[in-house]
Amino acid sequence: MNAANPWVPQAPCDTGCLHAGTDPSGNRAARAWRITLRTAALLILAPGLPLLPLAGLLGPGRPHVQRAYCRLVLRALGVRVTVTGGVIRNLRGVLVVGNHTSWADIFAVGAVLPGTFVAKAEMVGWPGLGQLARMLRVIPIERGSLRELPTVVATVAHRLRAGKTVVAFPEGTTWCGLAHGRFAPALFQAAVDARRPVQPLRVTYRHRDGRVSTAAAYIGEDTLGASIKRLMTARFTVAHLHVGELLLPDVGRRALAARAQAEVTGTTSTTNTTGINCITVTARHAALAA
């Protein structure tokens, strides 16, 4: 936990995790060529960012546009998307919850279940992504402020009642992908209050051979620029999304959070690994990414 704000979750992930899950990216010439091609692709897609909110004018066609754009952005970054699990139901007012590894999760989830995201408040100030966040009416959450939490929960509940899909990451922070954190129950209260279902979604980044990759991870003291560069220099990355069983809000928020966590990570454990390099708990969590 954070010493100043002990209620704020903090993952034990560090650079050791990144080295453990990242493959060599080839020689300097190969990396430079890869970055050049992917940067060019991103520049071609960039003008579409300001137009993305206008997809709402398309009515029923909006989700298709958002999914297609998110997939194109991921392709430009060298990431392919695969989906397994349950059927994605065309329901209104669903709270989508998943594990959190990277800024790229926004595009990975958006490629399958586009919606409004609950994201840390500082993201609104990021170049490029911050502009997109504001235009897409991202719900900002200040993790260090318990006083603002009821307002965030009320906002999420209001959007769910209005038939909007809201995406949240209940771990409260990013993990490297080799291990996972506990799902905090607070945001699940919005689903209970609005009486709307919860859709668990697991996001796993993998190498071509199926091993878990940390190329997309954004953890610890990592910078956004370093994380983007690491992903863009990786040879090949797969964002694998597993759709869990749709959960009805027929229990309290804590039980609902535990059920969602079991669907996403395969465990309801609340073991505190704070202060332990997550490589030491990788064996314990290896089955979660399978």
pLDDT along the chain (290 residues), means of 10: 55 73 73 89 81 61 80 94 87 93 92 86 66 70 76 94 94 86 93 97 92 88 87 91 94 95 78 42 42
Contacts of 153 (CB under 8 A, 6+ apart): 186, 187, 189, 190, 193
Q: Is residue 69 one of the residues assigned to a domain?
A: yes
Tokens 């809000």: give the residue.
Answer: 249
**Is position 1 within any domain?**
no
pLDDT at 272: 36
**Cα gap 45→40, rounded to integer Å:** 9
Structure tokens that stand for 188 in this block = 């699940």
User: 96: domain CATH number?
Assistant: 3.40.1130
This prediction has a pTM of 0.83
* Number of domains comprising the chain: 1
Residue 282 lies in a domain: no
C-alpha Rg value of the chain to the nearest Å? 18
In 42-176, at which residue ranges do the beta strands (DSSP E only) sit? 79-85, 95-98, 116-120, 139-141, 166-168
Asked, for residue 284, whether it belongs to a domain, the answer is no
> Of 129, 104, 130, whose CA–CA distance to 228 is shortest?
104
In a domain, 287, yes or no: no
Q: Residue 175: give the domain boundaries.
A: 26-265
- Given this model, what pLDDT does residue 176 score? 84
**In angstroms, rounded to a whole number, what is the distance separating the alpha carbons of residues 45 and 43?**
5
Q: How high is the pLDDT of residue 273?
A: 36
Residue 274 within any structural domain of the chain: no
- Are 216 and 100 within 8 A, CB to CB? no
Residue 77 is assigned to a structural domain of this protein: yes
Cα–Cα distance, 125 to 118 (Å, whole number): 15
Query: What single string gives the DSSP state of each residue in 42-75?
Result: HHHHGGGTTTGGGGGGGGGGHHHHHHHHHHHHHH
Q: Tell whether 169 is covered by a domain.
A: yes
Torsion sign, CA atoms 149, 151, 155, 158: positive
CB neighbour list of residue 72: distance below 8 Å, 6 or more residues apart: 45
Size (the chain), residues? 290
Over the stretch 165-174, which tens digit does the pLDDT of each residue have?
999 999 988 8
Q: How far apart are the first and last CA of the chain?
A: 27
Tokens of 56: 């709402």
Pairing of strands 237-243, 198-206: antiparallel
CA distance 88 to 105: 18
Angle at 204 between CA 71 and CA 267, to 5 degrees: 140
